[in-house]
Amino acid sequence: MKRAVFPGSFDPITLGHEDIILRGLPLFDEIVIAIGKNNDKKYMFSEAQRIDFVQTVFKDHPTIRVETYSGLTIDFCKKISADFILRGLRNPADFEFEKAIAHTNRKLSGIETLFFLTAARTSFISSSIVRDVIRNGGDYSVLVPKQLQLP
């Protein structure tokens, strides 16, 4: 079975996340959306809310599942027998950051990282931008999947 992990905080999930995951579906038997737990990070949405957001968006996709994890992504990949990490790249800064992580992950575990360039229509979207729009009472609906109704 070809299984990939798509890790992130998904605080909240965006149209960019959704696009990368849907485009990755034909390549894998299963994609595990792995919501990371980072005690040093202050989230806008609770872990339960973030799980619900992701499950709602992908409820019609039986080859996608959602899990949470803490620690190294490669340790989580080993635990669930995933051989690939799926990541999206929006810009050159993302590439430089993700490249270093991918090299380290492959060196430590042999797990390969596959990069997808974000679609032009979503390349400007990040969870932090969405959170800022929400905090300031803006219309976030054009930045997140249509199924998402944020509190």
Residue 151 is predicted with a pLDDT of: 65
Q: What CA–CA distance (Å, rounded) separates 137 from 129?
A: 12
pLDDT band at 39 (very low <50, low <70, confident <90, very high): confident
Give the DSSP H/E element, type plus range, for residue 34: strand 30-37
Active-site position among 9, 17, 50, 87? 17
Active site residue 3: no
Query: Average pLDDT, stretch 136-144?
Result: 95
- Model pLDDT for residues 60-76, shown as the tens digit of each residue: 999 999 999 999 999 99
pLDDT above 90: residue 136:
yes
Active site residue 103: no
- Model pLDDT for residues 77-127, shown as the tens digit of each residue: 999 999 999 999 999 998 999 999 999 999 999 999 999 999 999 999 999
Active site residue 109: no
Active-site position among 41, 42, 81, 107? 41
Q: pTM of the full predicted structure?
A: 0.94
Active-site position among 3, 65, 78, 90? 90
Q: Which residue has the higher pLDDT, 150 or 3?
A: 3
Determine whether 133 is exposed, middle or buried from the number of CB atoms within 10 Å of its CB (0-12, 13-18, 19+): middle
One-letter identity of residue 87: R
Give the residue extent of every domain in the chain.
3-139
Half-sphere exposure of 121 toward its Cβ, with a 13 Å CA cutoff? 7
Residue 33 is predicted with a pLDDT of: 98
Q: What is the CA radius of gyration of the chain?
A: 15
pLDDT above 90: residue 145:
yes
Question: Does domain 3-139 correspond to CATH entry 3.90.25.10?
Answer: no
Active site residue 17: yes
- Model pLDDT for residues 8-38, shown as the tens digit of each residue: 999 999 999 999 999 999 999 999 999 999 8
